[in-house]
Structure 1
Amino acid sequence: MKFGNDLRIKTVTSWFPPDRENVEDAVAAGKLEPQDVDRLGLTGLPVSARWSAPEMAVAAGRDAISRAGWSPSKVGVVLHTWIYHQGHDMWSPPHFVANEVGAPHALSYGVQQGCNAAALALQLAALHLDAEPGLGAALVTTGDRFAPPGMDRWTSDYGLGFGDAGTAALLHRGDSGPDDYALLSLATETEAELELMMRHGDDFSPAPMTHNDYIDLRRPKKSYVEAYGKEKFTSIAGRAIRKVIVDGVREAGLRLDDPRIKYIVLPRLGAYLLDANYVPVLDEVLKAEALRFGGDTGHLGCGDFLANLADLRDRVPLEAGDIALVIGGGAAWTWTCAVVQVPQEGGV
């Protein structure tokens, strides 16, 4: 999806709780097997001992609005995303986020697409801005807290550790003020046949935690691989990742060898997963440097995508006119590639 020259990410922010669980402590406590340390490639995970998931999203949203120097009343749409418990049952966290950031009258709703939801929310925010000329800005937030007893942040899934965080991004149609990025395009590919991987071997249940006393994503994945083989997922994922990169670059009006494309930012997955599923595709199609920002945060659920945009701005020497790709993915399964550019004076 091509957005033209004036769709801007005004700013993007991440908010992390101050407490952490380090890898060494997790191994010593028996939460993590020593042989899994290198496969994860982590130093530790941010852990919220106090703040709920939507409260962390609010903190990130407030930071974004403050950073932009805007009144919260400018925000007309709030899109909130998450993959895990938000602190209450049968409740609407998007409305909580909107009210707490100071935009109680904004259209507020949740976006569910697994860990890729923030990328989809950016796309939906762009559609709102296209369809509503009077809309000042859209706020996208994410918030997840992977606390026990429902989650084991070190072992609930293969090849990653779950970190707690809130993230936020403000989108608008460009004006005379400075912006973090121009959003040139978003390309998305869905492979819905892979949804079976997340439930293989389990019947549909009447209530949460029926199959296990905590969320164990390894069990159905193991059952799926035993039935279909690991190569099926690897092949499908490789094709989808390649397609979103190629389509995203093409829809942005660029070539894969454009020298302005400096970086491609990978999801905050374990080192082994990135090396197995992403690196072979990148080596084939793109010359840009691959960046991994998740070594000290782990996987943030929906938060990977926006946190990566924030770290790209803060930790990489980008100049006006430089272009980067940001890759997202989520079960079960969708992948997205965003093409962003540091705005130049007088336009993209």
Structure 2
Amino acid sequence: MKFGDDLRIKTATSWLPPDHETVEDAVATGKLAASEVERIGVAQLSVSSRWSGPEMAVEAARAALTRANWDPSRVGLVLQTWIYHQGHDMWSPPHFVASQLGTPDALAYAVQQGCNGGAQALQVAAMHLAADPGIGAALITSGDRFLPPGFERWNCDYGLGFGDGGSAALLHHGDGEPDDWALVSLASATAADLELMLRHGDEFSPTPLWHSSYIDLKRPKKSYMNAYGKERFGEIATTMIRKVVVDSIHDARLEIDDPRIKYIALPRLGDYLLDGIYLPVLSDALKAEQLRFGAKTGHLGCGDFLSNLADLRDHVPLEPGDVALVVSGGAAWTWSSAVVQVPERSE
């Protein structure tokens, strides 16, 4: 999807709690097997001792509005995304975020597509702005807190650990003032039949946590792979990742080997997953340097995509006109690739 020439990410921010759990502590306390340390490939996971997911989303959004010097009354759309419990049952986190930020009249709703929710929410926001310029600006937020007993952050899935945190991005039509990024294009692709991976072998249940005492993603995945083989998912995933990367670059009217494409930010997954699925296709398709920002956070769920936008800005050398890709994926399954560019300075 090619966007107009004036669509801008005013700023992107992440908010992480001050506490964390190290991989050494996780092994010592039996939360993580020593054999999994190298596969997960993180030093620590961010851990919230008091803030809920929506509260961390609000903190990230406040930081974004402050950094942008943006009046909340100019926000016409609030989209919140998450993957785990938000602190209350049968409740609307997006409306909480909008209320807390002083944007109670903004249209507020959820965008949920697994861990790809950040990318999908940005795409939805861009379409809103294209259809209704009167919105002014859209605020995309995410926030998750992965606590026991319902969630075992070190052990609920293969090859990754889950960290707590919030993230946000402010999207608007450029007005000549400084912006973090021009949002040039964003491509997505879905393999809907892979939804079976997260329920294989389990009947539909009447209540949450019916099949196990915590969110156990390994059990249905193992059942699925026993039935269909380990190779099937890898083949589909690499095809889809290549497709969204190539499509996003094409939609941006760039060539794969364009020297302006400096970096590609990878999802905050474990090294085992990145090395096995993402790197082979990306190394073959692009010469851009691949970046991993998750060593001190772990996988932030929907927050990976938005936090990577902030870390790209803050931690790598980029000049006006330089281009970066941000790649994301979420069960089960949609992948996305965004092309962002450092805006040229106004004369």
Distance 1:167 1:131 in 2: 25
The aligned residue for residue 331 of structure 1 is: 331
The reply to whether residue 277 of structure 1 matches residue 277 of structure 2 is: yes
> Structure 2 regions of 5+ residues with no counterpart?
none
Deviation at 1:345, TM superposition (A): 2.3
Deviation at 1:131, TM superposition (A): 1.1
Give the residue type in structure 1 aligned to 2:103: A
The aligned residue for residue 95 of structure 1 is: 95
Distance 1:237 1:33 in 2: 27
Distance 1:90 1:279 in 2: 40
Distance 1:192 1:132 in 2: 30
Distance 2:63 2:143 in 1: 14
Q: How does 1:230-245 map to 2 (within 5 A)?
A: 230-245=230-245
Q: How many residues align?
A: 347
Deviation at 1:73, TM superposition (A): 0.3
Distance 1:134 1:116 in 2: 27
Q: Give the conservation status (yes or no) of the 8 Å contact 2:267–2:327.
A: yes
SS at match of 1:66: helix
Deviation at 1:157, TM superposition (A): 0.5
Distance 2:93 2:250 in 1: 36
Give the residue type in structure 1 aligned to 2:9: I
Deviation at 1:4, TM superposition (A): 2.1
Moved over 6 A (4+): none
Deviation at 1:142, TM superposition (A): 0.2
Q: Give the conservation status (yes or no) of the 8 Å contact 2:116–2:302.
A: yes
The aligned residue for residue 173 of structure 2 is: 173
Give the residue type in structure 2 aligned to 1:202: D
The aligned residue for residue 142 of structure 1 is: 142
Q: Give the conservation status (yes or no) of the 8 Å contact 2:79–2:140.
A: yes
The aligned residue for residue 319 of structure 2 is: 319
Distance 1:50 1:187 in 2: 36
Measured against aligned partners, the alpha-carbon deviations of 1:263-297 in whole angstroms (never above 9, x if no partner) come to 01100000000000000001211100000000110
Measured against aligned partners, the alpha-carbon deviations of 1:180-220 in whole angstroms (never above 9, x if no partner) come to 00000000000001000000000000010000110000000
The aligned residue for residue 288 of structure 1 is: 288
Measured against aligned partners, the alpha-carbon deviations of 1:53-81 in whole angstroms (never above 9, x if no partner) come to 00000000010001110110010000000
The aligned residue for residue 77 of structure 2 is: 77
Distance 2:278 2:190 in 1: 16
The aligned residue for residue 35 of structure 1 is: 35
Distance 2:263 2:19 in 1: 31
Deviation at 1:346, TM superposition (A): 4.3
Give the residue type in structure 2 aligned to 1:142: S
Distance 2:48 2:38 in 1: 25
Distance 1:174 1:17 in 2: 32
Distance 1:344 1:236 in 2: 37
The aligned residue for residue 118 of structure 1 is: 118
Q: Give the conservation status (yes or no) of the 8 Å contact 2:197–2:221.
A: yes
Measured against aligned partners, the alpha-carbon deviations of 1:91-139 in whole angstroms (never above 9, x if no partner) come to 0000000000110110000001000011011011111111112121000
Distance 2:345 2:144 in 1: 37
The aligned residue for residue 64 of structure 2 is: 64
> Structure 1 regions of 5+ residues with no counterpart?
none
